[in-house]
């Protein structure tokens, strides 16, 4: 199975900050990488698919980049509703696997 490693596992930031989360795959996954946001008590919600394509309805302050093994999720100007946990997930090779998550907390 492809291992997905996210860093950091948690971070603290102010409203308005720029935040970057990294996801690394144990082997090349081309651009088959998705990002999800999850709030407590809720299911994950898709933010970005195919590494850089913004899902419908997702604010443009979210962006994704990368290919191969290294990917980033960037949130420009963090908003109060963005404090949540973020997960990456690869669809390159079955089974689909997820990163361990990055918790974004209010500083």
Partner 1 sequence: DVQVVASGGGLVQPGGSLRLSCAASGFTVSSNYMSWVRQTPGKGLEWVSVIYPGGSTFYADSVKGRFTISRDNSKNTLYLQLNNLRVEDTAVYYCAREIAPAGMPAGVFYFDDWGQGTLVTVSS
Query: In the complex, which residues of this chain contact partner 1 (CB under 8 A)?
Result: 30-32, 34, 36, 42-46, 49-50, 53, 55, 87, 89, 91-92, 94-101
In the 8-state DSSP scheme, what is residue 4? Answer: E
Nearer to partner 1, 83 or 98 (CB): 98
Pair of tokens at residue 69: 């093994």
Nearer to partner 1, 17 or 54 (CB): 54
Nearer to partner 1, 17 or 63 (CB): 63
Identify whether 95 is preceded by a cis peptide bond (ω within 30 of 0): yes
Q: How far is the CB of 92 from partner 1 (least distance, A)?
A: 6
Q: How far is the CB of 34 from partner 1 (least distance, A)?
A: 4
Question: Which of 102, 71, 97, 76 has its CA nearest to residue 87?
Answer: 102
Rounded to whole angstroms, the Cα distance separating 71 from 68 reads: 8
């Amino acid at each position: 199975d492809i291992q997905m490693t996210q860093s950091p596992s948690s971070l603290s930031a102010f409203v308005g900050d720029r935040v970057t989360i990294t996801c690394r795959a144990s082997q090349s996954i081309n651009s088959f990488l998705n990002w999800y946001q999850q709030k407590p008590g809720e299911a994950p919600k898709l933010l970005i698919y195919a590494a850089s394509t913004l899902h419908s309805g997702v604010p443009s302050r979210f962006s994704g980049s990368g290919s191969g093994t290294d990917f980033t999720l960037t949130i420009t100007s963090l908003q109060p509703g963005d404090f949540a946990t973020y997960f990456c997930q690869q669809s390159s090779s079955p089974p689909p696997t997820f990163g361990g998550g990055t918790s974004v907390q209010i500083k």
